[in-house]
Amino acid sequence: MRQLLSAPMFFICVLFGAAILGWAFLTDVEPAPKVYLNHFFLTVDSPTYKDIVGSGFIKNEFAHFEERTTVVNAGQSYSGAYIYGENTYFEFFDESQSQDASTMGLTSAIAFGVDQKDEIKIIQKKLKSYKNAPMALRSREFEGIQIPWFTMAVVFYGKDMPDVMTWVMEYHEDFLKKWHPDLCPSKPGITRNHILQRYAAKIVSPDLPKDKIMKDVIEVHLQLNPGDLEVIKGELAVYGYAISQEGNTTICSGPDVKIAIDPMESGKGKITGIKMSCRPHRYEEKAFLFGKSRLVLHTDSTATWIF
Contact in structure between 211 and 142 (CB atoms under 8 Å): no
pLDDT of residue 245: 98
- Judge whether 285 lies within some domain: yes
In the chain, the number of structural domains is 1
The verdict on residue 4 lying in a domain is: no
Residue 1 lies inside a defined structural domain of this protein: no
Range of the domain at 218: 10-306
Residue 19 lies in a domain: yes
| Residue 43 domain flag | yes
Instruction: Tell me what pLDDT residue 129 has.
Output: 85
202 inside domain: yes
Which of 221, 21, 229 is closest to 128 using CA atoms?
21
Phi/psi at 181 (5° precision): -65, -10
What's the confidence (pLDDT) of residue 75? 79
Enumerate residue ranges in the chain where pLDDT < 70: 1-30, 98-104, 205-210
pLDDT given for residue 207 in this prediction: 58
pLDDT tens-digit map of 246-282? 999 999 999 999 999 999 999 999 999 999 999 999 8
In a domain, 3, yes or no: no
The predicted structure's pLDDT at residue 101: 55
* In-domain check, residue 2: no
**Whole-number pLDDT of residue 270:** 96
- Do you know the residue count of the chain? 307
CA distance 79 to 69: 4
Q: Cβ(257)–Cβ(218) under 8 Å?
A: yes
